[in-house]
């Protein structure tokens, strides 16, 4: 169909719809009946806001904070009965080459820069990530972290980790040890600036006027209790509703191997329907097959609790990964996808992380470890042989593995897996010793709607859809095939701020 014929057809359809009351909304889906394919714009709006933000995690709260700070009337819509999504339960990690406390320098952990962080991130995603968007992430990670400290009261532990896939020590941890430290800081900023948070509100449609290239997004249809309401956004809509790790059918469309047999670290609401609504009004989705496993989840449930973050934080301080035979199976400094594949290749569930008392304050707190011991998540012993017995691995094998690794660390060379060593790593020589079981669980979806540097949602022609923004895990194209651990929080926060700032700049629709 020619461009002119298409335009003529759309105008004719719009005029016909207007004659029966209300315009014709763009609807690219085909649910199965001719009647269902026609979706009329609301004759009236139940609520009107300047900026509507969908999702209350890092990205949504950051967007709401900046939009409200610019004077916009903002609502944050959250479908769950509690705020925060995956953000509030994540591991509490934030990658930034620096912070206003200059913790890395203070702790003597070597040099770093936003440029090195950028290179690590691009390489970590097998060069599929957008260099432009990754540069924005790494350049703005430190200002966003300082913003949460100064305006939101965020507090950091005096430790900076070097985690898998990173060449330097840059992974910061909030004092809470979980993502709640950042979400509370962001919520404080957003609510202080006047943004309103509404729970138990599910998005059921995105309203866009028509299929013209300059046709704006107008608002959303939502379900709140038994009511179906239409909310108008006079300036812009921001999607920050997260990924789709919990939707087995959706993830198997793109990666058939990720069956229901896999656990997930995500909260129950991570089901991805908002991506579909965005596609239905013209958005392009990319990198949908790139789905990450978290290699350190609780083996039976997939839970990402406080103990499950210790194996992630430990590589920069000497933690060792072993299989059920008590032998190493991977370079502990590798990124998450490599470790996950290596675990599964052992054919022996679970694997274990081994560390000692000296490492605890570099990875967490003694209180966290004591609580983990009480729940049976950590195992403690005075000797490596005793630890092996408690874990159910051959004592002689684990003793030999630890002995060889200690020597590799002294020599500064690992002939088995080519692990790199630093001066702040601890050999496993002095007890008490600890172990924790681990196994991969589905964790993060790197694909989603495509955005540009202004956080505008793009259509299949790479054109921005007017008044439509997105940030966080609902977006694709930033991380590539694999997201380096600790990059999710700065990604969501940085692009959430950009989306909120630009959304508030839109001239209000009449």
Q: What CATH number is associated with residue 418?
A: 3.90.700.10
Residues 268 and 129 in one domain: yes
Residues 410 and 470 in one domain: no
pLDDT score of 37 more than 90:
no
Residues 249 and 366 in one domain: no
> What stretch of H or E contains 387?
helix 384-391
Q: Percentage of the chain surpassing pLDDT 90? A: 91
Domain-embedded: residue 221: no
- Read off the pLDDT of each residue in 329-343 and give the average, rounded to a whole number: 98
Domain-embedded: residue 191: yes
Domain-embedded: residue 44: no
Categorize the per-residue pLDDT at 172 as very low, low, confident or very high, splitting at 50, 70 and 90: very high
pLDDT score, position 396: 98
Query: Is residue 7 among the annotated active site residues?
Result: no
- Read off the pLDDT of each residue in 341-369 and give the average, rounded to a whole number: 97
Whether 494 contacts 186, CB under 8 Å: no
Categorize the per-residue pLDDT at 419 as very low, low, confident or very high, splitting at 50, 70 and 90: very high
Domain-embedded: residue 510: no
Domain-embedded: residue 146: yes
Residues 125 and 108 in one domain: yes
pLDDT score, position 478: 98
Label residues 275-294 b or e (16+ Cβ within 10 Å = b): bbbbbbbbbbbbbbebbbbb
Residues 251 and 358 in one domain: no
The burial class, CB within 10 Å (0-12 / 13-18 / 19+), for 328 is: buried
Q: Percentage of the chain surpassing pLDDT 70? A: 92
Domain-embedded: residue 70: no
What is the rounded CA–CA span in Å between residue 67 and residue 50? 9
Residues 321 and 405 in one domain: yes
Categorize the per-residue pLDDT at 377 as very low, low, confident or very high, splitting at 50, 70 and 90: very high
pLDDT score, position 36: 45
- Read off the pLDDT of each residue in 295-324 and give the average, rounded to a whole number: 97
Residues 112 and 191 in one domain: yes
pLDDT score of 14 more than 80:
no
Residues 269 and 310 in one domain: no
The burial class, CB within 10 Å (0-12 / 13-18 / 19+), for 81 is: exposed
Q: How many domains does the chain have?
A: 3
Residues 148 and 280 in one domain: yes
What is the rounded CA–CA span in Å between residue 266 and residue 303? 8
Residues 28 and 108 in one domain: no
What is the rounded CA–CA span in Å between residue 254 and residue 21? 40
Among candidate residues 390, 424, 441, the one where a domain is terminated: 441
**Structural domain span for residue 26:** 1-32
Residues 494 and 415 in one domain: no
Whether 58 contacts 41, CB under 8 Å: no
What is the rounded CA–CA span in Å between residue 183 and residue 146? 14
Domain-embedded: residue 215: no
The torsion of the CA quartet 140, 141, 143, 147, rounded to 10 degrees, works out to 130
Catalytic residue among 157, 162, 170, 336: 336
Beta bridge partners of 439: 297
- Read off the pLDDT of each residue in 259-264 and give the average, rounded to a whole number: 96
Domain-embedded: residue 61: no
Give the contacts of 399 (CB within 8 A, at least 6 positions apart).
384, 385, 388
Residue 277 maps to which CATH number?
Answer: 3.50.50.60
pLDDT score of 202 more than 90:
yes
Residues 346 and 428 in one domain: yes
pLDDT score of 255 more than 90:
yes
């Amino acid at each position: 169909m020619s461009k002119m014929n298409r335009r003529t057809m759309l105008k004719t359809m719009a005029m016909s719809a207007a004659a029966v009351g209300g315009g014709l909304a763009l609807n690219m889906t085909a649910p199965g009946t001719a009647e269902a394919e026609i979706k009329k714009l609301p004759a009236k709006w139940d609520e009107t806001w300047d900026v509507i933000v969908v999702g209350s995690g890092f990205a949504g709260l950051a967007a709401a904070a900046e939009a409200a700070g610019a004077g916009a009337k903002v609502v944050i819509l959250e479908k769950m009965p509690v705020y925060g999504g995956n953000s509030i339960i994540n591991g509490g990690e934030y990658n930034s080459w620096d912070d206003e406390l200059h913790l890395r320098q203070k702790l003597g952990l070597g040099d770093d820069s936003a440029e090195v962080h950028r290179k690590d991130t691009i390489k970590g995603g097998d060069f599929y990530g957008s260099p432009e968007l990754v540069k924005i992430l790494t350049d703005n990670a430190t200002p966003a972290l300082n913003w949460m400290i100064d305006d939101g009261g965020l507090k950091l532990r005096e430790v900076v980790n070097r985690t898998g896939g990173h060449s330097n020590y840059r992974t910061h941890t909030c004092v809470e040890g979980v993502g709640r430290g950042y979400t509370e800081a962001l919520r404080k900023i957003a609510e202080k600036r006047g943004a309103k948070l509404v729970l138990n509100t599910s998005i059921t449609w995105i309203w866009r006027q028509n299929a013209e290239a300059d046709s704006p997004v107008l608002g959303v249809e939502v379900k709140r209790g038994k009511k179906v309401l239409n909310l108008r956004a006079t300036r812009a809509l921001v999607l920050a509703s997260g990924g789709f790790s919990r939707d087995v059918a959706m993830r198997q469309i793109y990666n058939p191997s990720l069956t229901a047999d896999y656990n997930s670290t995500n909260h129950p609401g991570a089901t991805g329907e908002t991506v579909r609504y965005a596609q239905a009004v013209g958005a392009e989705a990319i990198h949908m097959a790139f789905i990450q496993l978290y290699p350190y989840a609780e083996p039976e449930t997939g839970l990402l609790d406080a103990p499950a973050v210790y194996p992630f934080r430990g590589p920069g301080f000497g933690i060792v990964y072993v299989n059920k035979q008590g032998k190493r199976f991977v370079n502990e400094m590798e990124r998450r996808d490599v470790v996950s594949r290596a675990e599964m290749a052992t054919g022996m569930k679970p694997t274990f992380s081994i560390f000692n008392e000296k490492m605890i304050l570099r990875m967490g707190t003694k209180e966290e470890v004591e609580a983990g011991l009480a729940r049976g998540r950590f195992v403690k012993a005075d000797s490596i042989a005793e630890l092996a017995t408690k874990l159910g691995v051959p004592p002689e094998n684990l003793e030999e593995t630890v002995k060889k690794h200690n020597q590799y660390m002294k020599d500064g060379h690992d002939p088995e897996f080519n692990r790199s060593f630093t001066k702040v790593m601890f050999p496993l020589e002095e007890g008490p010793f600890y172990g924790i079981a681990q196994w991969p669980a589905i964790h993060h979806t790197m694909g989603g709607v495509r955005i540009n540097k202004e956080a505008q949602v793009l259509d299949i022609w790479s054109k921005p859809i007017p008044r439509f923004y997105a940030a966080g895990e609902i977006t694709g194209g930033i991380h590539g095939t694999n997201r380096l651990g600790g990059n999710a929080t700065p990604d969501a926060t940085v692009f959430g701020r950009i989306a909120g700032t630009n959304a508030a700049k839109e001239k209000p629709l009449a």
